[in-house]
Amino acid sequence: MVRLQKYLADAGVASRRVGEQFILDGRVSVNGKTIRLLGSKVDPQLDQVSVDGQLVRIKNLVYVALNKPVGCVCSRKDELNRPTIYELLPREWETVQSVGRLDYNSEGLIFLTNDGQFALRLTHPRYGVRKKYLVTVEGEVTRPMLDLFTRGIFHQGEKLKALSAKIISGTRKKSVVEMELGEGKNREVRRLFESQSITVKKLQRTQIGKIRLGELKPGKWRTLNPVEIKTLTSDL
């Protein structure tokens, strides 16, 4: 048995809060009977739930980890007709959406799902889900530069900040840096280096929360298991 507002959220009809309002407004019925009591429960296997007279059912939720390769976009359709990450997935997963984005020239771990609440909890700034990146840049990166990144800088009117940053390897011609971010603003890693006139040659996201990219090859995907899904949401 599950609460009626959770059933509506799992069915993709509305968030729990909006679902509660649907119930109070008398828009929800169970087995033909209008339900106005918050906290009412239903059996997803036996009960028929309707909103405004339309039957709703819980959809099969999908949680996917994909190693996005360079040279594709995270949109379903691209005005330049560039390849999209959705072309790498089975056709029957037409309802999944990417959880956040990686730009065309970036690669690495990205999640896709048809669970709107899961996506919200992983992308909303208030939850601060940590993400790790391996960044290869032209030229030498210094410790003072990384200290500046962790203190935070203003770029194009917006504050950018790394939670941590360390040099993996470096010469005067090339450096490799591991960075961890919380909010994940648009192109934040690239913009941090751009602010110091450093060019990023390769950007790979290696970890989201506690889930690592691991041995997943570029262009390949796998489904997240229940333990991983719980780990991602229970830490928030």
Catalytic residues: 103
Give the other-Cβ count within 10 Å of 46's Cβ: 8
CA torsion angle 214 215 218 219 (round to 10)? -100
The C-alpha atoms of residue 77 and residue 10 are separated, in whole angstroms, by 26
**Distances in whole angstroms, Cα of residue 222 to Cα of each of 27, 111, 142:** 39, 10, 37
Q: Which of 121, 146, 117 is nearest to 133 (CA)?
A: 146
The two structure tokens encoding residue 73? 């976009």
